[in-house]
Structure 1
């Protein structure tokens, strides 16, 4: 079968890219595997439309695509436009057309820093299930690498996989442990195997991988995949990609957790923002969470901005309050949180916050799978020198989920 792929690059400054673009098309009968989108043209320029043909077996009804790039070149960041359609795929054999709008950056220094995304038909960005991947580099001479490491995770029967995921931000030095939080549209845990490899480019490209450990908080299953081998074309068997299988005796069952999205709105009052460490604790009928730090590395909460977080929570039953506080020792640590508004006024169908006026919820929690929502209003300062001088606030849960349970 043939699939015609039309790609629309956004018409904003810096939207074009020099990186290599890859796509994997998923359907009810399987997937194409990762394919590089290339032809004789200078593709993916600002405001451009590019066309490609992908030859593949009949995939049946298409469900999603995985699209990304290798961050290669001086202008690697890429912005995909929604004005017409981000990506349109026409199934030539079955005479069907599928739209995959996104309107997001794929860039390490823009948006959320991702250079690879899963997109469902119709444009919902599929990031429901998270996986915590820990990669161990061996403690042997020359073990580290500067090459780009990638991973593919395979489901229990081996017929579903994650597609190739580049582990951006890793150091992969000798004796080091690198941790990555990966979000996918599909539940693969428990995994049957993983494939790990590298791009074999740059200085010090060879790598000694000790093992890979993967935890899926949703299932609570932690699996260990030993390697203890070189991925180096100049050593042993010359392989730069290996298939790893679980050592079942090392499998662990941890507390099952569920994916939630958290939106935090800081008001646009003067000096309302803060870069002080912000902590929350969520209370439910069955218990409470540990302290959750929202802004590692003292990331700023800017005035008038909605920040989105993805967190994994155990089953706490119905939520009834959130406790929020900050470290008042930092200069400029005062923080002001808004309240009130209508959730539908600043969220679209896919659950993405939109620009809105000052009137908005202070915090909203949404279960990524069930779409249950809780709202927590504040409209108070957390500041030792403002309001009542308190730096700790407790907010009671509100919203349709609470009314449905209570009523």
Structure 2
């Protein structure tokens, strides 16, 4: 048998050099022990959210000796206390091992253990220096990382030629995202981005500064460091589909190199990326991540597709087996373009025999809807469907287009059932006056309600308030949400809106009242918009909101106001006492 001796002759104690309770030993006699080299290791944890870890971290070094032979050291644990590797911290460790004239690489790993077991570690960089007492002492060697080190996945870093990388090799990139203002566009999923350039990529970076990131209509800004990318060529952005509302509609992304010289080319300093797309597995383009290429023009100054809501009323025939539980999609075509395919109803929605289903969808504003196309995938227990008719109401203008069908849609020989319907004569005409009511629920704890809410609109020239029928769903009036309702009247309101009355029926499961932030009433025909601020709890006793703010005025009303002001000024005369 071969015997291998390890000379030690050193302290295993935190208070005596080399201040370690765990050390790497190499075979040899006492003389070999005297030739061991001391190493100082400095770990820089990144200053980003969730960067720290309390896992057990190990390090392995690889280098060359005097003769150019490969020398390896470790892996060995690096740890001094439970407070190591906190966010933004700089931790120093010491170790002894074989002498290396040149340190080539460092491999870091961790086991994901600890109180928050499995947490990743975002390492900014490592610095390794040989003790001056060791023969052939060398300058500090820097290993740049700036990435997540995940559980049980070692990461090998390459030394930068025995010296730290020049500062100008590191850049600070600012990423600005703009979430669409369309209803339901915000997300509470975990969002990431990866920037690609002519010199490489940043790797996948989490975008997270607060719980309110990526709210509807919000602009969020994130900054992180990365090796210089050169020309910014593309970005990949997406989310993990987590949370209660993961679907996200992204308008655009702006990437800026904040450390670039002013003389640098524009494509080195800033690049805008147009998205205007849903990141949602259930909506086109049916993906939770997108890769975007640079757009022409300046961020936020490019023309956007105007969006609007449509209410589709689907009437299924009362013939035997006319209903279906297949997935149905619709495309609207009008004078201004097409919406593209959109699913009708939520997942698992059933179109029952003889039933009329009213479904609201969002899409590009196509003007007057002249044609619709329908298809279904034939899935479910009832794969065929007999559609009697459908109506499409443009919620922005109130125009209603009517379509007759009266035929079966069924898949045959693997071909998807699809049909195109033309609007009936006289469709698209607006014969009613439409009003939109936007109700914003407060964001404080317990603000939402599932109780029955009623809204009364008071107007000049009307003895009684108008109480439009509110078709309330389970997801209406949730905390921090804005709900939109469109109502039609055969006649126009005779005067300006003077007050709004709110009541909450106190029959909800999660509370006996509702906190309303504000109510906005708009005349879609005239373009006027009245804002009534509430900022209070509403119960069954009711709340009356007065002193509404006229946020927007129609052209007709502006002309009347200007004429009245001109007459008033003329009556007062042109002297110093004239009305101003």
TM-score category (smaller protein): 0.5 to 0.7
| Equivalent residue number for residue 378 of structure 1 | 534
Counting only pairs closer than 5 Å after superposition, residues 326-405 of structure 1 correspond to structure 2 as 326-328=504-506, 332-337=511-516, 362-365=518-521, 373-383=529-539, 390-398=541-549, 400-401=551-552
Q: Does 1:277 align with 2:446?
A: no
Partners of 1:133 and 1:213 within 8 A in 2? yes
Aligned-residue offset at 1:85: 5.6
Aligned-residue offset at 1:240: 0.9
TM-score (norm 2): 0.40
Q: Name the SS for the 1:174 alignment partner.
A: coil
Which deviations, in whole Å up to 9, do the C-alpha atoms of 1:236-257 show, x marking residues without a partner? xx77111212343788864131
Aligned-residue offset at 1:187: 4.3
Aligned-residue offset at 1:202: 4.4
Q: Name the SS for the 1:276 alignment partner.
A: coil
Aligned-residue offset at 1:265: 3.7
Distance 1:255 1:131, change over 3 A: same
Aligned counterparts of 2:528 and 2:326: Cα–Cα separation in 1:
42
Partners of 2:189 and 2:246 within 8 A in 1? no
Counting only pairs closer than 5 Å after superposition, residues 18-33 of structure 1 correspond to structure 2 as none
Which deviations, in whole Å up to 9, do the C-alpha atoms of 1:317-367 show, x marking residues without a partner? 532211111214557423344xxxxxxxxxxxxxxxxxxxxxxx5334567
Aligned-residue offset at 1:167: 0.5
Which deviations, in whole Å up to 9, do the C-alpha atoms of 1:131-164 show, x marking residues without a partner? 32111222223322222111122225xx722221
Counting only pairs closer than 5 Å after superposition, residues 128-139 of structure 1 correspond to structure 2 as 128=308, 130-139=309-318
Aligned-residue offset at 1:212: 1.7
Aligned counterparts of 1:12 and 1:335: Cα–Cα separation in 2:
23
1:306 counterpart (475, 480, 498): 480
2:385 counterpart (197, 202, 207): 207
Q: Name the SS for the 2:332 alignment partner.
A: strand
Aligned-residue offset at 1:311: 2.3
Distance 1:330 1:202, change over 3 A: closer
Distance 1:333 1:205, change over 3 A: same
Partners of 2:254 and 2:273 within 8 A in 1? no
Distance 1:257 1:145, change over 3 A: same
| Equivalent residue number for residue 332 of structure 2 | 153
Aligned counterparts of 1:311 and 1:11: Cα–Cα separation in 2:
22
Distance 1:309 1:80, change over 3 A: closer
Q: Name the SS for the 1:195 alignment partner.
A: strand
Partners of 2:312 and 2:359 within 8 A in 1? yes
Q: Which structure would you say has the larger RCO, counting Cα contacts within 8 Å and 6 or more residues apart?
A: 1
Counting only pairs closer than 5 Å after superposition, residues 157-176 of structure 1 correspond to structure 2 as 160-169=337-346, 170-176=349-355
Partners of 1:142 and 1:174 within 8 A in 2? yes
Partners of 1:12 and 1:47 within 8 A in 2? no
| Equivalent residue number for residue 127 of structure 1 | 307
| Equivalent residue number for residue 497 of structure 2 | 319
Partners of 1:77 and 1:108 within 8 A in 2? no
Partners of 1:15 and 1:77 within 8 A in 2? no
Q: Does 1:264 align with 2:415?
A: no
| Equivalent residue number for residue 246 of structure 1 | 423
Aligned-residue offset at 1:394: 3.5
Which deviations, in whole Å up to 9, do the C-alpha atoms of 1:66-109 show, x marking residues without a partner? xxxxxxxxxx96545678369xxxxxxxxx9862357x763779
Which deviations, in whole Å up to 9, do the C-alpha atoms of 1:255-278 show, x marking residues without a partner? 1315x4624243737x65543212
Distance 1:224 1:366, change over 3 A: closer
Partners of 1:132 and 1:180 within 8 A in 2? yes
Distance 1:228 1:281, change over 3 A: same
Aligned counterparts of 2:457 and 2:281: Cα–Cα separation in 1:
32
Aligned counterparts of 1:250 and 1:216: Cα–Cα separation in 2:
11
Partners of 1:274 and 1:334 within 8 A in 2? yes
Aligned-residue offset at 1:173: 2.3
Aligned counterparts of 1:379 and 1:12: Cα–Cα separation in 2:
25
Distance 1:313 1:286, change over 3 A: farther
Aligned counterparts of 1:256 and 1:108: Cα–Cα separation in 2:
34
Structure showing greater radius of gyration is 2
Counting only pairs closer than 5 Å after superposition, residues 291-302 of structure 1 correspond to structure 2 as 291-293=468-470, 295-297=472-474, 299=475, 301=477
Q: Does 1:185 align with 2:364?
A: yes
Aligned counterparts of 1:371 and 1:252: Cα–Cα separation in 2:
18
Aligned-residue offset at 1:232: 1.5
Counting only pairs closer than 5 Å after superposition, residues 4-15 of structure 1 correspond to structure 2 as 13=189
Partners of 1:266 and 1:301 within 8 A in 2? no
TM-score (norm 1): 0.55
Partners of 1:206 and 1:231 within 8 A in 2? yes
Partners of 1:134 and 1:180 within 8 A in 2? yes
| Equivalent residue number for residue 19 of structure 1 | none
Aligned-residue offset at 1:397: 0.8
2:274 counterpart (99, 102, 120): 99
Distance 1:283 1:141, change over 3 A: same
Q: Name the SS for the 2:404 alignment partner.
A: strand
Partners of 2:374 and 2:418 within 8 A in 1? yes
Aligned counterparts of 2:366 and 2:252: Cα–Cα separation in 1:
31
Unaligned 5+ runs, structure 2: 1-177, 180-185, 193-203, 208-244, 256-270, 289-299, 566-580
